[in-house]
Structure 1
Amino acid sequence: MIKKIVTAAVFTLLMCCKPAGDFKSKIEDPEHLHQTIKKVTDIIVHDIFSPPVASRIYAYVSVATYEAARHQDSTLLSLEGQLHGLADVPQPEKGKVYCFPLASVQAALKMARVLIFSEDELDKYSQQLLAEYQHSGMPEDVYQRSVEFGTAVAEHVAKWSTKDNYKQSRSFPKYSIDQKDSTWKPTPPAYMDAVEPHWRKIRTFVIDSASQFRPASPPPFSTDKRSHFYALALQVYDVGKSLTPEQQEIARFWDCNPFVMNVKGHVMFATKKISPGGHWMNIVRVACRTSNANAARAAEAYVRVALSLADGFIACWDEKYRSQLVRPETFINQHIDENWVPLLQTPPFPEYISGHSVISGAAAQALTGVFGDNFQFTDSTETEFGLTARRFKSFAAAADEAAISRLYGGIHYLPACDTGLVMGRNLGVYITNTLRTRESNLSLNQQP
């Protein structure tokens, strides 16, 4: 009887890819997954993907990661049939031993390689990471089987990704500038073309359509000094002239502009930064480390946040190019002070609504669903860009700060921040309640 119990225990450890010794410590360590997602972020920054496109990359990479990692935890459910168009995801062969943490990072790397430009840089990282697994004491057949499974999942997700209308949208016409005072115009110093004017046409992941969470229309445009709209513009102007050091720090911390054009005399050069979605994906890593989440749990957190970000950008961009509202910088320069410059560089797309506010509200809701409310954490995302880490008492508090930072930065009127945050939270609640990664979403934040 004792022999049977011991045999069963050993078999369970093997099937979960948790053998003893160095092999066990290597495969149980969720840092391999965290480092892989961070590497994807670094390449996204280097390749200068726009915020919407970056969110698409995170979504597909995270789906591939999750579908490979979930088999390590028998309580996790597949996303097939839940995400639009995703079906028949490859399954591991019954009775065979796999290392699912290895399969998950392989799936992430293979999926990312399809979507980024700097393939050589990703390949170098991939070779180093896989070598760690291969030399960990893992049986060669387990290693090969796990790598092949991760590759199969990534190839399946990659094929699914080709049907989301992204490739077709690359040839859609550019944004046509309307000369009316109320509509968006390119802003200094780069006067860049409008970013992704057709993003609303990308297939959504969880929400029914791009317009499902359509917000109220923006305040009526007016140049009348007695109007509400003029007062909103004047508020941006006044706040910008009297920013406290704390408000400036908040604005810069949440800037997350992937491409800032710097002008020094006759020289122009770009500064690359993390995207808004990348900032929240980094918060996932912080939360996982704080809560000691294992690799499967981390994959679940990443995919829930990534899908909330991706659908959040689609919904936000739907409204941006419907209302096409002029940015504060343009309005203020034309009607209040021609020499005024916002603290932050104005991003190249319409004002209403605030993308930061939408995706922050959505991501915070996703994180709260996984880790619970009142989850205190220190966000060190921006330290590599020379900024100080910030402490938050909850994910919702971080989203609140991200939203108001856009007013401090001088790039949004207040309604875009407030309404965007509400819209993002509503979208986030919908995805949290609709997407099932476990039998009961109510037990999400009770899992180890």
Structure 2
Amino acid sequence: MKKYFLIVLACSLAVLACDNGVKEVNIESDVYHQTMDKLSEIIVHDIFSPPVASRIYAYPSIAMYEVLAQNNPSYNPLAGQLTELTPIPRPTEEISYELAALEAFIKIGTALIFSEADMDAYREELYKELKKGVNKQYFEASLAYGGQVAKHILEWADGDMYKQTRTYPKFTVTNDPTRWQPTPPGYFEAIEPHWTKIRPFAIDSSTQFVPERPTAFNMEKNSPFYKEVMEVYEVGKNLSQEQKEIASFWDCNPYVMNVTGHVMAATKKITPGGHWIGIVKIACKKAETDPMKTAEAYALTSIALADGFISCWDEKFRSNLIRPETVINKYIDEEWVPLLQTPPFPEYTSGHSVISNAAATALTSIFGDNFSFRDDTEVKYGLTVREFDSFFDASEEAAISRLYGGIHYMPAIENGVTQGRKLGDYVVDKLKLRNEALAENNE
């Protein structure tokens, strides 16, 4: 009888264990990459501007990092290092930190986009697979904790002045011939003229990295500005096939207006920041990073990108310099059209130059210099794969691509590179993500 009872008890426990499932959720870095790809896809669909997109990437990435850092003593939290970010709550139950980090990312990303239903459907399908064979209480507790962290980060995000700037007046265009004017074919109003009011993440203020002054407007022949204008004009008329490919590869214009006769159609593409988020994925997959290091790469790069846009946009609307297309059409050649469509905001400095070099600095600090990679980020938009010997190699090509595209004068490119690298160095030096002493002992 006793033997029979033990057999029945053992069978009952086995059934109970099967019902409850295991307390382990198999989440590898690929799940984080897949989810980031989904967020990028929705950002493209919803046509967020480059500065706004950088904000959407930053907050979920920071949340993901903060959750995983709670369970990894080799990493320091960003709370207390980023402006006004306080420590996230700690879990009160046994949880999967990897799942909680994923949930926090998804919750925040969903709150910051328009197409919430698309992300909700993605989440439902993803969790249907992840929850198989997993203890229900453990799974739900992990999601609940991720939700708590998301709430904490979203409350922090609410204080960054984004909502307030939605109500600010539009940018005023003047008749001053030296100042920015809307450009064809859409003649769109200036994008995010008040982005300088957005609270920075790591830099002290939007004015911390003010670049050199742009060349004074002067269309007299042989003046420095005239020579800069003519450089854009001549380069644009004599582009090699390679230069055209480079310009198109780094275009990253989220909304290109295509005009054929009386027919107008829009083409949606990834933003410049989204391109660099794609490079984060490429680097992580090549280096085979674990979830913690993957989160580190996304967080540090997205912070550098977001602060890069704040710094660059501060200068754009301070100098308010006219674009090459407007100047060339008025003074040089009314028929000239740049290879790329001119983005709707002032010229100086080059956003591509600033944010690409800030991102390259962040990535180099994690993966090292001379980290070669094949960039296939733009393949889904009909472009080719390009190969680079390092992140700075890519950032320099991104910068010069704006000359080839007819978008910028050279000072905006060169001084933008300097601005971006100074900002990137500051972000990397300020944010101590790694607990170096513990990291060395664990390696």
Could you say which TM-score interval applies, normalised by the shorter chain? over 0.9
Cα deviation for residue 138 of structure 1 reads: 2.1
Q: SS state of the match for residue 278, structure 2?
A: helix
Return 5+ residue gaps in structure 1 as ranges.
1-20
Distance 1:182 1:239, change over 3 A: same
> What is the DSSP-based 3-state SS (H/G/I as helix, E as strand, rest coil) of the residue aligned with 1:78?
coil
Equivalent-residue separation in structure 2 for 1:328 and 1:100 (angstroms) = 50
Amino acid at match of 2:350: S
Contact 2:28 2:290 in 1 (8 A): yes
Pair 1:187-2:183 in alignment: yes
- Post-superposition offset of 1:27: 2.0
User: Alpha carbons of 1:330 and 1:441: their partners in 2 closer, same or farther (altered >3 Å)?
Assistant: farther
Provide the residue aligned with 2:9 in structure 1: none
Q: Secondary structure at the match of 1:322?
A: helix
Instruction: Indicate how the Cα distance of structure 1 residues 199 and 169 shifts in structure 2: closer, same or farther if over 3 A, else same.
Output: same
Aligned to 2:164: 168
Query: How many angstroms does 1:92 deviate by?
Result: 2.0
Partner of 1:129: 126
Over the aligned positions, Cα root-mean-square deviation in angstroms equals: 1.8
Does 2:41 match 1:42?
yes
Deviation larger for 77-86 or 315-324: 77-86
Counterpart secondary structure, 2:26: helix
Q: Take 1:252 and 1:301, find their aligned partners in 2: how far apart are those partners?
A: 26
The alpha-carbon distance between structure 1 residues 219 and 31, as it changes in their structure 2 partners (threshold 3 A), is: same
C-alpha distance in 2 between matches for 1:314 and 1:436: 21
| Aligned equivalent of 2:227, options 222, 227, 231 | 231
Tell me how far apart the structure 2 counterparts of residues 172 and 277 of structure 1 sit (CA, whole Å): 24
Report the Cα offset of residue 441 of structure 1: 10
Structure 1 distance, partners of 2:74, 2:144, is: 23
C-alpha contact 2:73 2:438 (8 A) present in aligned 1: no
Q: How far apart, CA to CA, are the structure 2 residues paired with 1:369 and 1:78?
A: 18
Instruction: Quote the residue 2:15 is aligned against.
Output: none
Identify which of 104, 126, 144 aligns with 1:107.
Answer: 104
Determine helix, strand or coil for the equivalent of 1:111.
helix
Q: CA separation in 1, counterparts of 2:437 and 2:229?
A: 42
Which deviates the most, 32-41 or 70-79? 70-79
2:59 maps to amino acid: Y
2:269 equivalent in structure 1:
273
Structure 1 residues 119 and 447, CA gap change in structure 2 (3 angstroms): farther
Per the TM alignment, residue 447 of structure 1 is displaced from its structure 2 partner at its CA by: 8.8
Label 1:371 to 1:273 Cα distance change in 2 as closer, same or farther (>3 A): same
* 3-state SS, counterpart of residue 305 of structure 1: helix
Deviation at 1:51, TM superposition (A): 0.3
Equivalence for 2:73:
74
Which residue of structure 2 aligns with residue 199 of structure 1? Answer: 195
1:55 aligns with 2:44: no
C-alpha distance in 1 between matches for 2:54 and 2:439 = 27
Tell me the CA shift for residue 61 of structure 1: 1.2
Bigger Rg, which one: 2
Distance in 1 (CA, whole Å) between partners of 2:438 and 2:188 is: 45
Q: CA deviation at 1:269?
A: 1.2
SS of aligned partner of 1:381: coil
Q: Corresponding residue for 1:309?
A: 305
Q: TM-score, normalised by structure 2?
A: 0.93
- Cα distance in 2, alignment partners of residues 334 and 225 from structure 1: 15
Give CA-to-partner distance per residue, 1:83-105, whole Å, 9 cap, x none: 11111311123xx4321111111
How far apart, in 2, do the equivalents of 1:339 and 1:396 lie? 36
| Preserved contact between residue 352 and residue 399 of structure 2 (Cα < 8 Å) | yes
Q: Secondary structure at the match of 1:418?
A: helix
Match of 2:4 in 1: none
1:347 maps to: 343
Rounded Cα–Cα distance in structure 1 between residues aligned with 2:221 and 2:404: 22
Alpha-carbon spacing, 1:442–1:326, altered in 2? closer, same or farther (3 Å): farther
**Equivalent residue, structure 1, for 2:8:** none
Secondary structure of 1:98's counterpart equals coil
Q: By how many angstroms is 1:439 displaced?
A: 2.1
Query: Percent of counterpart pairs with the same letter?
Result: 52
Maintained 8 Å contact 2:361/2:425: yes
- Which position in structure 2 is the counterpart of 1:3? none
Superposed, 1:352-371 pairs within 5 Å as 352-371=348-367
Alignment of 1:142-157 (within 5 A): 142-157=138-153
In the alignment, residue 121 of structure 2 is paired with which amino acid?
K
Cα distance in 2 between the residues matched to 1:196 and 1:204: 15
Amino acid at match of 2:147: T
Alignment partner of 1:331 is 2:327: yes
Distance 2:26 2:261 in 1: 53
1-side partners of 2:49 and 2:164: how far apart?
17
Contact kept? 1:72, 1:296, Cα under 8 Å: no
Q: In the TM superposition, what is the alpha-carbon distance from 1:367 to its structure 2 partner?
A: 0.2
CA distance in 1, matches of 2:102, 2:67: 8
Cα distance change on mapping 1:285 and 1:74 into 2, 3 Å: same
* Pair 1:176–1:447, CA change in 2 (3 A): farther
Query: Which residue identity is paired with 1:217?
Result: R
Query: Are the structure 2 counterparts of residues 264 and 291 from structure 1 closer, same or farther at C-alpha, using a change threshold of 3 Å?
Result: same
- CA shift, 1:160, in A, is 0.6
Residue of structure 1 in register with 2:95 after alignment: 98
The letter for the 1-side match of 2:356 is S
Whether 2:413 is the aligned partner of 1:417: answer: yes
1:390 offset after TM fit, Å? 0.6
- Inter-partner Cα distance in structure 2 for 1:48 and 1:443: 40
CA drift at 1:382: 0.3
Check the 8 A contact 1:67/1:78 in 2, yes or no: yes
Contact 2:369 2:390 in 1 (8 A): yes
Structure 2 runs not aligned, ≥5 long: 1-20
Secondary structure of 1:27 counterpart: coil
Q: Classify the secondary structure of the residue corresponding to 2:44.
A: helix
Amino acid at match of 1:167: K
Q: Deviations over 1:37-60 (max 9, x none)?
A: 110000000000000000011111
Counterparts of 1:363 and 1:134, CA distance in 2: 35
The CA deviation string for residues 5-42 of structure 1, in whole angstroms up to 9 with x for no partner, is xxxxxxxxxxxxxxxx9986x62421110011110000
Q: Return closer, same or farther for 1:363/1:441 CA change in 2, 3 Å cut-off.
A: farther
Instruction: Give the residue type in structure 2 aligned to 1:365.
Output: T
